[in-house]
Amino acid sequence: MMSVMRFLFFILSTSALALPADHAQRMERGLKSFQQDVAGILKENCLRCHGGERVKSDFDMATREDLLRGGSHGSVVVPFDAKGSALVQQINHAKEPHMPDDKPKLSAEVIAKITAWIDDGAPYAEPLVAGKKPKRDASVVTDADRQWWSFQPLMKINAKSIDELLLKNAKGMSFNPPADKATLVRRLHLDLTGLPPDSSEQTDLSAPTDRLLASPRYGERWARHWLDVARFAESTGFEQDYDRPFAFHFRDFVIKALNSDMPYDQFVKWQLAGDEYEPQNPLALAATGFLGAGVFPSQITANEVERTRYDAMDDMLSTTSSAMLGLTVGCARCHDHKFDPFPTRDYYAMLSTFTTTTRMNVDVLPNGKVTSAKTTMNAKTNTPAVPGATRMMICGEGYDPIVMHTQGGPFFDKTYVLKRGSPDMKDGEATQSFLQVLSKPGDAKRWQWQPPKDAKTSGRRRSLSNWITDVDQGAGALLARVIVNRLWQHHFGRGLVPTVNDFGKTGTASSQPELLDWLAGQLIANGWKLKPIHKLILSSQAWKQSSLRDAIKEAVDPDNGLFLRFVPQRLEAEAIRDCMLAISGLLDETMFGAGTRDENSKRRSIYFNIKRSQLIGSMVAFDVPEPLVSQGSRPTTTVAPQALILMNSPQARQWAEGLAKRIQPAGDVPKQIAMAYRICFNREPKPDELATGAEYLKTGASLADYCQVVLGLNELIYVN
């Protein structure tokens, strides 16, 4: 017979209720009742559907552990509390579904025996099915689960360069020869700034990398990559899709952070909890816009409030895990993750981080103070109520409601574990902890940050950021792997881990694991600064290769996972448009501030206002993704609207006329054609290109017509 002390230990570990003072005596009485009556009653009336022949509603009562665990509809039995136990209500036909569902209602005498047994702790003397073991507790992550490569500490790699590690796995093959100088100059500029080299830069490959990394254009180029990952947009989504006129401050933060080479761990910390790190720093406040950039319905009924709040928190957690850790933690919202060791309880433990986090518009003074001025519910302008303040959308906690215009919906004081993700099936309060697979039992306190007594925030988001950046004990090694993989992806068109948002078991493992860990180690050793990693990549022989095709290499490595050739990449929509503006001489380099949806704007495309229901047509044609969830990579399509835009749009005509004005003073037709090729492609025209252009112009076509043809060439929108 199982001892009373063993029952006591189990109940203490599984029940949130305080034990009654006479629990030992009551449990002994309950054991006697189980042996004499209750076991037989349960076997006769319940077991066939719940642990015997089948397990309906995921509720198995063959063992006491499984009985207390409950089923898909939540907890069924609460030891020592028959009134609070759903099973008692169901057998009394006071709650649906009535039980048993295939027999008449139990007699009052039988119901009384079950009720008394539950009030006595619901003990078992033995399983109802001989030899039956409780289900493995899926909420426990084992050391075997931690063996997956991306959950491991960084390997210590003894190497001096990228090339050394790539050639180590080259299967006897070698890199392509280097591309010619003109190609490399153009490749470098498009990689780092998203703009072609100007006339003074077209032959300069001596030391341009540092200069381009220091250019303001670098931040504008690479911020766009992060905004995809952050699912950034400036409207709420759904049917109403109301504007968020002050969300652009997050976009500006990303540009400024990248241009200043903010350490990546700080970049992450500020996006999760900038207001808890530096509450007086407007840039840190703007960084929290990361959490609030997702969709949120603006018109909901009273019955939808709680579900919508859980949706909002899920958006924050799912985006954080995908963007920063390359993990699909959000899949554990309704059930334990089917492939990765992310139990549902881990999901809700992390979700509780955002219990009181909400999106809000506030007026922020230059010193970071949030003013006490009221902002109206329909505030549409960027004119703050207090002179000198800036109105911005941030995510935070605890601000006085009359100070802010809340856009994130109401929040609740507690977050609960939900069965099947339903707020109607709560299974106990969730308290903050982190993924077990990336920490050790009992380690949650290691990262907990207690805010000062006068603070308005809970400290939970800063605690999350402590864990996510901890290389030795937390998720920091994975954080570093994911970001260096993103850098590699945008330089080569393919990540070392091709599934850049999924480092779990449903993703594709790294083709170069040692190189990935070496780069992650270099990032950490350089103080988490990204620009040194760019320089490592751009100085490698691998990046400088030509794009010449080799049948032998393609047969051995059709996906170029060995990176023994540079594969041409089509530019993204924003870079295509920005290049056209730069080539035409029309580019307006004004930085920051509110964006626009006017396609006639001459500013860089990153300053387009992103309204989810009204995306910019020319951007969509060139595969800008819908900003609903984190986008790790974009598709590359070839469709007719792309050509039609360059042939027929008024903007394309303006670009052609701008280029024509630039080359007009060059002199005769051959010189004009040569200048057009230098501006557009950073090379001289081939004899047949020169002859074809001259012949076209002889037909009476204008110089602008010719320039529009050149702007439509494939070469312009590809990085070779």
Residue 517 CA to residue 501 CA, distance in Å, equals: 17
Predicted confidence band of residue 6 (pLDDT cuts 50, 70, 90): very low
Q: If residue 162 lies in a helix (H) or strand (E), which one and from where to where?
A: helix 162-168
End-to-end CA distance of the chain: 76
Q: Is the peptide bond before 245 cis (omega within 30 degrees of 0)?
A: no
Of 510, 543, 569, the residue that ends a domain is 569
- The answer, yes or no, to whether residue 641 has pLDDT greater than 50, is yes
Cβ–Cβ < 8 Å for 309, 358: no
Residue 137: per-residue pLDDT:
55
Is residue 278 situated within a structural domain?
no
pLDDT at 298 over 90: no
CA 384 to chain centre: 32
Q: Is the pLDDT of residue 90 over 60?
A: yes
| 137 or 664: which leads in pLDDT | 664
Does residue 635 belong to any structural domain of this protein? no
Query: HSE of 301 in the Cβ direction (CA atoms, 13 Å)?
Result: 1
96 lies in a domain?
yes
> How would you write 51-79 as a 3-class SS string?
CCCCEHHHCCCCCHHHHHHCECCECCCCC
pLDDT at 11: 38
Is residue 256 situated within a structural domain? no
Does residue 618 form part of some domain? no
Task: Judge whether 461 lies within some domain.
Answer: no
Q: What is the CA radius of gyration of the chain?
A: 31
Average pLDDT over residues 532-558: 95
Helix (H) or strand (E) holding 567, with range, is none
Helix 640-648 and helix 703-711, axial crossing angle in degrees, nearest 10? 160
Q: Clarify whether residues 111 and 172 are in a common domain.
A: no
Whether 57 and 184 map to the same domain: the answer is no
Give yes or no: residues 325 and 441 share one domain: yes
Q: What is the pLDDT of residue 265?
A: 98
Q: Is the pLDDT of residue 556 over 70?
A: yes
Q: DSSP code of 363?
A: E
CB 577 within 8 A of CB 607: no
Same domain, 104 and 172: no
Q: Are residues 111 and 34 in the same domain?
A: yes
Phi, psi of 114 (to 5 degrees): -65, -40
Q: Residue range 284-292: average pLDDT?
A: 96
Task: Check residue 21 and give its pLDDT.
Answer: 67
Per the listing, tokens 């070698």 go with 174
Statement to judge: residues 56 and 99 lie in one domain: yes
pLDDT at 375 over 50: no
Task: Please check whether residues 443 and 327 belong to one and the same domain.
Answer: yes
- Which is higher by pLDDT, 402 or 643? 643
> Which band of pLDDT confidence, cut at 50, 70 and 90, is reported for residue 402?
very low
- The whole-model pTM stands at 0.83
Residues 6+ apart with CB under 8 A from 97: 90
150-185 tens-digit pLDDT: 999 999 999 999 999 999 999 899 999 999 999 999
Quote the pLDDT of residue 607.
98
Q: Are residues 490 and 449 in the same domain?
A: no
The whole-number average pLDDT for the span 176-200 is 93
pLDDT of residue 136: 57
Does 52 score more than 60 pLDDT?
A: yes
Mean pLDDT across 639-658: 95
**Contact (CB, 8 A) for 125 and 35:** yes
pLDDT cut 90: percent of the chain above it: 70
Q: Is residue 327 part of a domain?
A: yes
Q: Which of 569, 602, 622 is the last residue of a domain?
A: 569
Tell me what the mean pLDDT of segment 512-525 comes to: 98
| Residue 244, helix vs strand vs coil | coil
The domain boundary residue, chosen from 63, 84, 119 = 119
111-145 confidence digits (pLDDT tens) = 999 999 999 999 998 999 888 877 755 567 888 88
In a domain, 463, yes or no: no
pLDDT at 14: 38
Query: In the predicted model, is pLDDT for residue 207 greater than 70?
Result: no
Pairwise CA distance, residues 136 & 145, whole Å:
14
Query: Do 339 and 422 share a structural domain?
Result: yes
Across 440-467, average pLDDT: 89
Q: For residues 431 and 543, state if they share a domain.
A: no
Average pLDDT over residues 94-101: 87
User: How high is the pLDDT of residue 104?
Assistant: 87
**What's the pLDDT tens digit per position in 342-369?**
999 999 999 999 999 998 888 888 877 8
Between residues 133 and 431, the one the model is more confident about: 431
Compare 454 and 714 and report the one with higher pLDDT. Answer: 714
On the question of pLDDT at 528 being above 70, the answer is yes
**158-163: long-range pairs with CB below 8 Å, 24+:** 159/514, 159/518, 161/536, 161/540, 162/515, 162/518, 162/519, 162/536, 162/537, 162/540, 162/542, 163/540, 163/541, 163/542
Q: Which whole number is the average pLDDT over 330-348?
A: 92
What angle in degrees, to the nearest 10, is found between the helix axes of 216-229 and 181-193? 60
- The whole domain housing 682 covers 645-719
Residues 438 and 489 in one domain: no
Q: Which of 674, 319, 251 is nearest to 464 (CA)?
A: 319
Residue 377 has pLDDT above 80, yes or no: no
Predicted confidence at residue 93, as pLDDT, reads 92
Widest pairwise Cα distance in the chain: 108
Looking at the structure, tell me whether residues 439 and 484 fall in a common domain: no
Find out whether 513 and 153 touch, Cβ atoms under 8 Å: no
pLDDT attached to residue 401: 40
Report the number of distinct structural domains present in the chain.
4
